[in-house]
């Protein structure tokens, strides 16, 4: 019987392989600035797929996918703080990392200003909801990996939702689940959950985070140019929609709890 030439020193690829597909910049079906929104209405958001308890090694975890935005989140803690000073309240740390292949142009695998900016916004959205006063001299570490990016506003909103689900999955006491939604002013319309192309074509964007169960807003982040009236319209539109997002989070946690029993 002839011996095979299988090389055990290397990781062999699959027997069948497929050529990767890339987006065509000249595709006439792609949305272009100035055209009406395609595929969904102005107040519609992208479909959300959310699952909790994905990473076994973490205390809590979640994975969220909204079409071309894909994010994985892991929570570790609470664990004793390394600081020598006593703190009456715990500390919530958020670290965001973009995968090198997450964007159209390959990113250098080094944390930059954009990573820190996204992490700060997600942390501000979550801190009011977590009962850190019950965790003196403790830290909770949240690690968010952006696998695919289709607009920074969507990454912040989806990252906040995934982190909220992961904190609940870890059994950390919270005042309520945090839901987040983004909006953009495109022409004279308010478009919810803008993609990267829609965000670039807008005059201003707004990201709203809060606890719908308590009717509380935890964070508002606005960038670009918009009138106060447009800002209020964006917040009202986000508040109407993030109640549905809250239901998605609660359903994913319920399904995960039922699967673990």
Q: What does the pLDDT look like over 57-78, one tens digit per residue?
A: 999 999 999 988 999 999 998 9
For 4-15, what is each residue's pLDDT tens digit?
A: 555 566 666 667
Domain boundaries, the chain: 48-260
According to the model, what pLDDT value does residue 114 have? 78
Mean pLDDT over 203-207 rounds to 93
What is the C-alpha to C-alpha distance for residues 115 and 100, in angstroms, rounded to an integer?
12
Token digits of residue 153: 């506003």
Return the C-alpha torsion angle 91, 57, 116, 49, nearest 10: -110
Average of per-residue pLDDT values in the chain:
86
User: In CATH terms, is domain 48-260 a member of 1.10.3720.10?
Assistant: no
The pLDDT assigned to 124 comes to 94
* pTM (2 d.p.): 0.85
pLDDT of residue 77: 84
Cβ atoms of 142 and 25 within 8 Å: the answer is: no
pLDDT value of residue 8:
63
Specify the DSSP element, H or E, that contains 143.
Answer: strand 138-148
d(Cα 248, Cα 179) in Å, to the nearest integer?
Answer: 9
pLDDT surpassing 60 at residue 26: no
Strand partners, 52: 62
159-194 pLDDT, tens digit each: 999 999 999 999 999 999 999 999 999 888 899 999
Cα angle for residues 233, 160, 199 (degrees, 5° grid) = 50
Considering only residues 133 and 10, tell me which one the structure prediction assigns the higher pLDDT: 133
- Which burial class, exposed, middle or buried, applies to 99 when counting CB atoms under 10 A from its CB (0-12, 13-18, 19+)? middle
Is pLDDT of 204 > 80? yes
What is the arithmetic mean of pLDDT over 85-112?
80
Q: 26-35, 36-45, 139-148, 178-187: lowest mean pLDDT where? A: 26-35
């Amino acid at each position: 019987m002839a011996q095979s030439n299988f090389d055990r020193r290397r990781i062999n690829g699959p027997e069948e392989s497929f050529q990767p597909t890339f987006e065509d910049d000249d595709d006439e079906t792609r949305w272009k600035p100035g055209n009406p929104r395609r595929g969904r209405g102005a107040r519609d958001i992208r479909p959300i797929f959310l699952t909790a308890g994905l990473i076994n090694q973490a205390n809590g975890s979640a994975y969220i996918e909204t079409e071309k935005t894909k994010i994985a989140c892991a929570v570790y803690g609470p664990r004793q703080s390394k600081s020598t000073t006593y703190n009456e309240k715990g500390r919530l740390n958020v670290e965001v990392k973009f995968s090198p292949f997450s964007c159209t142009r390959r990113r250098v695998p080094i944390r930059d200003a954009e990573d820190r900016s996204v992490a700060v916004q997600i942390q501000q959205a979550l801190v009011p909801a977590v009962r850190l006063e019950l965790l003196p001299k403790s830290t909770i570490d949240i690690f968010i990996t952006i696998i695919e990016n289709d607009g920074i506003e969507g990454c912040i909103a989806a990252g906040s939702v995934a982190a909220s689900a992961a904190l609940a999955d870890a059994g950390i006491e919270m005042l309520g689940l945090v839901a987040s939604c983004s909006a953009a002013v495109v022409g004279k319309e308010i478009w919810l959950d803008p993609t990267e192309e829609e965000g670039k074509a807008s005059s201003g964007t707004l990201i709203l985070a809060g606890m719908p169960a308590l009717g509380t807003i935890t964070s508002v982040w606005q960038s670009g140019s918009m009138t106060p009236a447009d800002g209020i319209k964006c917040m009202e539109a986000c508040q109407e929609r993030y109640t549905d997002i809250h239901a998605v989070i609660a359903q994913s946690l319920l399904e995960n709890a039922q699967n673990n029993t």
